Amino acid sequence: MTDDVRFEVQGAIGCITLDRQRALNSLTLEMIRAMQVQLDAWAEDPNIGAVLIEGAGEKSFCAGGDVVSVRRSRLEEGETGKPTKLMLDFFGEEYRLNRSIADYPKPYIALLDGVTMGGGVGISVHGSFRIATERTLFAMPETGIGLFPDVGGGWFLPRCPGELGTYLALTGAPVKAADCLYIEAATHFVPSDRLQALRAELLSLDLKQDAAGRISVLLSEHSVSGGDATLSEHRSIIDSAFAHDRIEDILGALRAAGGSFCDETAAMLEHRSPTSLKVTLEMVRRGARCASLAEDLAMEFTMVQSFMIAGDFFEGVRALLVDKDRAPKWSPPTLDAVTPEAVAAYFSPAGKIGL
């Protein structure tokens, strides 16, 4: 269906290789559709014992979704006051793929060797095994482009230890392997120079019985310590400041605490979309009460339809990914201008389609 993702069977494992290196292996709609079709087929194939997904090249596992194309669809179709067909198809099918991975009946192994952000988190964090390396750079940076940490972020992030998920959701701060293990985004750490040996042994495994158990044993044999988690050093202030239910109160707590970490964190928040910040915080709180990933993804699909007719997403993508001037003009430009009623509207299903 597309040259940007490759599928092959090696031994008892179905292998997926994301190969869009010019865009750090970011996901297009065609890639999402091809993956869904292949995963569905392998789920029914008795000769396939597990699935392995990785990114081509040494820079990236998957840097996210192809939001530039999503933005372009609006420019090409004009301001219609509703999401374009590409927008609905892209996010709807991406979220269904995320759910399929979470519910997959066979072990799903992701090699997070390199940049793993946004959509890349969605096609890895919900699977059985996630292997980080020293090159892993993990983030949910959507508030910086006027969106929110979707692809199941409303399910995964509130379930990180303490308020670490709230911190990561709002700031979009990138973290490395040790922190991925700390927040359980990764299950194992394997140095990149050992990946080929690990991969070869995975492909030679007999997976006819207890596939998950045999894979788990092999991964444990290859994994080593990922080192000390940076987030653990700041856990106390993160848990304290990000426990608040208003962005203004979070910023106030950071400023009151002072110090370089708090100052840098406050500065990150001040550069994010005010609308994205407030809606994301509400999503994290609501997501903590969701009974399942499916419930959360349905909520996110309702939310994203509002984002696709608001202005901040298109401005954020323009400023960071198209023109790259890094000077987005958010609307509204301040936190106090984003009312509770405006935030609530993002979660209202009125006039929207379901997932």
Residues belonging to the active site:
65, 119, 142, 150
Distance CA 242, CA 260 (A): 17
The neighbour count for residue 287, using CB atoms within 10 Å, is: 25
CA dihedral 287, 291, 296, 297 (to 10 degrees): 160
Per-residue CA distances from 40 to 14, 54, 73, 110 (Å) = 11, 18, 28, 17
Structure tokens at 323: 């023109």
Per-residue CA distances from 74 to 78, 210, 345 (Å) = 6, 48, 21
Phi, psi of 290 (to 5 degrees): -65, 145
The neighbour count for residue 140, using CB atoms within 10 Å, is: 31
Per-residue CA distances from 227 to 190, 194, 221 (Å) = 12, 17, 17
Distance CA 4, CA 94 (A): 16
Sign of CA dihedral 262, 157, 52, 35: negative
User: Tokens 């009460």 correspond to what residue?
Assistant: 289
